Structure 1
């Protein structure tokens, strides 16, 4: 099975004696063994056995196998949330004294890990700007172990050259980790460009309907082994039910994301014409500063649009208040269009200076384009602005 859509639908790891067409739910905390020797061999990993659902579960294994195939990865591990995936991946691979080199444009909670919690364990970081990628070799230290980036970025929808990051990581023997949440495996496979590990918040487009939380890291088997051992002991495992939901969601990922992207491109093009809106950013708009790079590494432009409102933070709040059917939420990747004002919500805890460094101005608005009719989405956005 080579094609993405077929892998998403036909990868099924477990059936019972009833030969279900759709994989059943395995709601069990533990598993039984035939005898003492079978149990010993299972714990010694001489046999591939499910032991405890904190370690593995058939539903979780199927979900991970699908993501790994889609990303071209060797192995993976699934987590309760996207941030559990981010934290556990870093914590499993880093030691005291290590250094992270990261793009400055990262999710707010990831920034919190780097600035508030990792320093407790003598793990440091250095940021580079999205327009400073060609200069980041100067920031590499002897203790640098991980090179990390999101692309497209949250919430500014900037694009970073994966191929260049891959070459730098290989040259300096760094572990390249890419947060691929905005793109999904359908639009972008960072491993093709040299990434060692890829992280997803499955809560977003992978679920696609705002139902469950989940996260996953896939990549090189030796690195995943370290992440698995860390997670087996610390317990951030994805629940079997959520894994079952997410695995079923993957069966429609391609068709959903195609529609999301079609809607988003059309709306982004229309928003560029609207008075009162500035600096519309969408990876597949020709006006995007990294349009050529986006076209090189992404199949389509994704479902996230960012733009600035003339009038700053007050204009942003008024705009949010005037929406009629677009949802006011911090989530993204839902069937429903979601509008967020980062400066007063998701990134409000950042100092203004830090926000501005990553392009989060007072008037920045992030829109996660849903699957509604584009005319209805546009009318709501325009009416909210005009009011």
Structure 2
């Protein structure tokens, strides 16, 4: 299938699907074998070599969605991130990382790189100039995340791609928050795309997986590290993920719509101090987000007024779930300081602007009126319990 001429929902549904030649079923068959023939075959297949029939089929779908040549699927987002980083870095190299990063990526950098003789710098901000001033003679990689987790900062994709090419560097992006539905960084010149497929690709809070997408040349380099690190995914989960991606386009669009409505509501609420969502005209990078995103995403963050305790607010929600992950069809909230960024020190969180009062909100597909009502009743209960001064 020529994905360049097909709509995104068609690509989600049909790209990379396996044909059921025996029974003519409508969905890809599942091949569970971990042992394949090696004599008289075109491909010697083995799960850890990322080339079982279901793995290959899913990777074709992933590559098509990100407008890339090749992809690989891993057991988790961090398996994909760590494999990609170690594939392109070695002792003596340096990497520039965006200041606003997912806590797991940040923790990997500060706890692992020094063991392998890799040096690193975090930017002071997320503009192109912030990255350029951190480049050193031995820099090999620039790593960004946009929109970022959890403050939804926006980084200039065209600018970073141009900067990387100017200095002969490899550019990498964590594209999880946007998903391939809202943003395709390869179209802007970014080299390596990373996803926690646990999130929007899985979409139902029941799959753990990660993705690397890039050119065939770069994926050949990734493969050499990947087969050593052993982060492959079981074929049953691969099959489930391929099934889930079929509805990603319509799920993400519904989540985009809900997030925009929710951000607008929260921005107008007297009980909310700050709202972070790139679709709001008040977001400092709204115009940049509009120029490189096809939708503003289903994620936002906000801070309640100081007199409303966030922990009590979580406890009084009835519909929205206080839960660890994101991007499922059900709406969830969490405290980044207690979960996604708990491995960071309080000082480092403060540098990123992550307050204890910050609430990360993953919008699901429920009716927006029901979600707003749940927030209002939870806030009302917290306020009613407050001790008068």
TM norm structure 1: 0.94
Residue in structure 2 matching 1:7, options 11, 14, 19? 11
Question: d(CA) in 2 for partners of 1:32 and 1:344?
Answer: 48
Equivalent residues of 2:320, 2:371 under 8 A apart: yes
Aligned to 1:32: 37
Matched ranges for 1:171-320 at <5 A: 171-311=166-306, 315-320=309-314
The structural deviation recorded for 1:345 is 2.6
Question: d(CA) in 2 for partners of 1:276 and 1:77?
Answer: 44
Gap change, CA 1:32 and 1:14, over 3 Å in 2: farther
Question: Are positions 1:63 and 2:58 aligned together?
Answer: yes
Aligned to 1:334: 328
Question: d(CA) in 2 for partners of 1:17 and 1:6?
Answer: 24
Equivalent residues of 1:14, 1:23 under 8 A apart: yes
Question: Are positions 1:349 and 2:343 aligned together?
Answer: yes
SS of match in other structure, 1:342: coil
Question: d(CA) in 2 for partners of 1:131 and 1:10?
Answer: 37
What root-mean-square deviation, in Å, do the aligned CA atoms of Structure 1 and Structure 2 show? 1.5
SS of match in other structure, 1:139: coil
SS of match in other structure, 2:294: coil
Instruction: Tell me which moved more, 241-250 or 9-18.
Output: 9-18
Question: d(CA) in 1 for partners of 2:224 and 2:339?
Answer: 35
SS of match in other structure, 1:106: coil
Question: Are positions 1:322 and 2:299 aligned together?
Answer: no
Question: d(CA) in 1 for partners of 2:379 and 2:342?
Answer: 22
Aligned to 1:44: none
The structural deviation recorded for 1:248 is 1.2
Question: d(CA) in 1 for partners of 2:126 and 2:133?
Answer: 14
Equivalent residues of 1:320, 1:341 under 8 A apart: no
The structural deviation recorded for 1:111 is 0.6
What does the per-residue CA deviation read over 1:200-238, in whole Å, with 9 as the maximum and x for residues that have no partner?
100001111111111110101111111112112221001
Instruction: Tell me which moved more, 185-194 or 316-325.
Output: 316-325
Instruction: Tell me which moved more, 188-197 or 271-280.
Output: 271-280
The structural deviation recorded for 1:276 is 2.3
Question: d(CA) in 2 for partners of 1:289 and 1:113?
Answer: 29
Matched ranges for 1:64-79 at <5 A: 64-79=59-74
What does the per-residue CA deviation read over 1:224-271, in whole Å, with 9 as the maximum and x for residues that have no partner?
111112112221001111111111111111111110000110111011
Aligned to 2:370: 376
Structure 2, unmatched stretches of 5+, are 383-389
Q: How many residues align?
A: 375
The structural deviation recorded for 1:14 is 4.6
